[in-house]
């Protein structure tokens, strides 16, 4: 008896929907084993991770706040990945967007600048993110450099640049030498949706991005070009689609969305520029993009789920003294299973029994 993978005639749409759920199931089983090894009760640990955050309104709001950057970045990344362009550096584009927008906030600090400041900051963040993402894209198109490596390495450049700014020129003079800018003025802050809550306008922008992504991919010729270039490059060239142009375009869009997410995060929940504004949103968004099947609606759901793991991880650290890094382990295992389960869309398992031998 033998277990083999057999190619399906046509891709299975059922499995395409079910495969992320299988992946989540397998992740939970693996995590339970890990909790057992750590000497924790897996049932109560999983409860703290996945159930508790859903039971109070503060946590629910916090999930939406965390999901906002994840979803925005992942929508952009999904365009890249569909076009077979591997932008791994969304984290860097996020940070550069935050820096560029903060520049205006710092410069207008304490002046009578009007309500144009926040829109201008958002625009600056998006443009800076796009330009930063174009560096690896141009290197790939022009010189054939691997965009995976270059985009990843630029994350560290962005990280250290931000670090330098908040420890040096932009440090708050009244900040007791902490590496941070001063709190942004109200005109440079993303307004809250509910007074006294945490939910801010960024969540609405994220929903608009999801809708725009769905429209682009499903209804426009550009979206079609993006999908063909990734799925069948030679057919795309035969169709007259320029793959280099599409690499530049998808990198620019994804950089813009990451940059926008960065400045919204800084001008929203954080309120000032400082190191550590991102708990790895740019990297977690890669998982969100794949868990959401590179589909905008799927990404919205996946973004909320991954945000849940952030909140659950924090609560597990407080309640059960489980290290915060376990969250990252969780996310890594999840990505692993998601990619593995994807093979089931085009293949199926089959048990092969040896043919009857007439003796």
HSE-CB for 143 with a 13 A CA cutoff: 9
Counting contacts by CB under 8 A, is residue 107 touching another protein?
A: no
As a whole number of angstroms, the distance between CA 290 and CA 299 comes to: 8
Decide if 302 contacts 292 (C-beta within 8 A): yes
**Which of 11, 21, 244, 340 forms a contact with another protein (CB under 8 A)?**
11
- Report the nearest approach of another protein to the CB of residue 2 (Å): 12
Q: How far is the CB of 244 from another protein (least distance, A)?
A: 13
Among residues 14, 55, 177, 357, the one that binds another protein under rule CB under 8 A: 357
Tell which one of 29, 41, 160, 237 touches another protein (CB under 8 A): 237
CA angle 288, 150, 296 (to 5 degrees): 20
**Could you tell me which residues come within 8 angstroms of residue 289 by beta carbon, excluding any fewer than 6 positions away?**
74, 75, 77, 78, 81, 299, 302
Least CB distance from residue 222 to another protein, whole Å? 7
**Positive or negative, the Cα torsion across 94, 96, 101, 107?**
positive
In this structure, the number of other CB atoms found within 10 A of the CB of residue 339 comes to 14
Spatial CA neighbour of 120 closest among 110, 130, 132, 108: 108
Which segment (105-113, 166-174, 183-191, 226-234) binds another protein by CB under 8 A? 226-234
Residues 164-223 that bind another protein (CB under 8 A): 219-222
* CA nearest neighbour of 44 among 32, 33, 34: 32
> Does 358 engage in binding with another protein (CB under 8 A)?
yes
**Closest separation in Å from C-beta 354 to another protein:** 8
**Between the CA of residue 289 and those of 77, 187, 226, 227, 294, what are the distances in Å?**
7, 33, 16, 15, 5
Q: Of 39-98, which residues contact another protein (CB under 8 A)?
A: none
Structure tokens that stand for 176 in this block = 């007791």
Structure tokens given for 174: 């009244």
Nearest distance, CB of residue 80 and another protein, angstroms: 18
- Please select the residue that binds another protein; options are 227, 280, 304, 329, rule is CB under 8 A: 227
Residue 9 sits in the site that holds another protein (CB under 8 A): yes
The CB-of-3 to another protein minimum distance in angstroms stands at 16
How many residues belong to the site for another protein (CB under 8 A)? 23
> Which one of residues 143, 234, 321, 351 is an interface residue with another protein (CB under 8 A)?
234
CB-nearer residue toward another protein: 142 or 356: 356
Q: Verify binding: residue 235, another protein, rule CB under 8 A.
A: yes
Q: What string of DSSP letters covers 236-276? A: HHHHT--HHHHHHHHHHHHHHHHHHHHHHHIIIII-S--TT
Q: Does 297 bind another protein (CB under 8 A)?
A: no
Nearer to another protein, 107 or 219 (CB): 219
Q: Which is nearer to another protein, 9 or 110 (CB)?
A: 9
The verdict on 245 binding another protein (CB under 8 A) reads: no
Q: Shortest CA distance to 100 belongs to which of 272, 206, 276, 259?
A: 259
Task: Spell out the residues 6+ positions from residue 52 whose beta carbon is closer than 8 angstroms to its own.
Answer: 59, 312, 315, 319
Residue 228 interacting with another protein (CB under 8 A): yes
Chain residues that interact with another protein, rule: CB under 8 A: 9-11, 219-222, 224, 227-228, 231-232, 234-240, 355-358
């Amino acid at each position: 008896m033998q277990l083999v993978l057999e190619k399906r005639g046509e891709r299975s749409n059922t499995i395409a929907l079910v495969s992320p759920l299988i992946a989540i199931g397998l992740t939970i089983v693996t995590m339970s084993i890990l909790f057992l090894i750590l000497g924790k009760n897996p049932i109560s640990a999983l409860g703290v991770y996945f159930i508790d955050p859903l039971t109070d309104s503060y946590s629910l709001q916090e999930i939406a706040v965390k999901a906002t950057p994840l979803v925005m970045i992942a929508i952009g990344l999904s365009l890249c990945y569909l076009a077979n362009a591997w932008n791994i550096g969304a984290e860097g584009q996020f940070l550069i967007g935050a820096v560029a927008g903060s520049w205006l906030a710092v410069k207008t600090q304490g002046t009578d600048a009007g309500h144009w400041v926040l829109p201008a900051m958002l625009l600056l963040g998006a443009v800076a993110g796009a330009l930063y993402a174009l560096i690896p894209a141009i290197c790939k198109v022009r010189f054939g450099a691997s965009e995976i490596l270059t985009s990843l390495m630029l994350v560290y450049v962005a990280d250290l640049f931000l670090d330098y700014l908040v420890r040096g020129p932009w440090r708050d003079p009244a900040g007791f030498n902490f590496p941070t800018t001063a709190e942004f003025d109200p005109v440079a802050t993303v307004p809250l949706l509910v007074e006294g809550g945490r939910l801010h306008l960024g969540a609405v922008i994220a929903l608009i991005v999801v809708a725009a992504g769905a429209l682009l991919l499903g209804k426009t010729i550009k979206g079609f070009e993006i999908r063909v270039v990734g799925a069948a490059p030679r057919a795309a060239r035969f169709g007259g689609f320029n793959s280099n142009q599409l690499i530049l375009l998808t990198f620019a869009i994804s950089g813009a969305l990451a940059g926008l997410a960065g400045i919204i995060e800084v001008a929203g929940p954080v309120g000032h520029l400082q190191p550590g504004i991102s708990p790895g949103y740019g990297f977690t968004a890669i998982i969100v993009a794949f868990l959401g099947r590179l589909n905008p609606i799927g990404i919205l759901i996946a973004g909320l789920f991954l945000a849940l793991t952030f909140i659950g991880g924090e609560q597990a650290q407080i309640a059960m003294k489980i290290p915060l890094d376990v969250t990252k382990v969780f996310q890594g295992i999840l990505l692993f299973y998601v990619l593995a389960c994807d093979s089931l869309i085009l293949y199926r398992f089959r048990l092969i029994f040896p043919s009857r031998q007439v003796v």
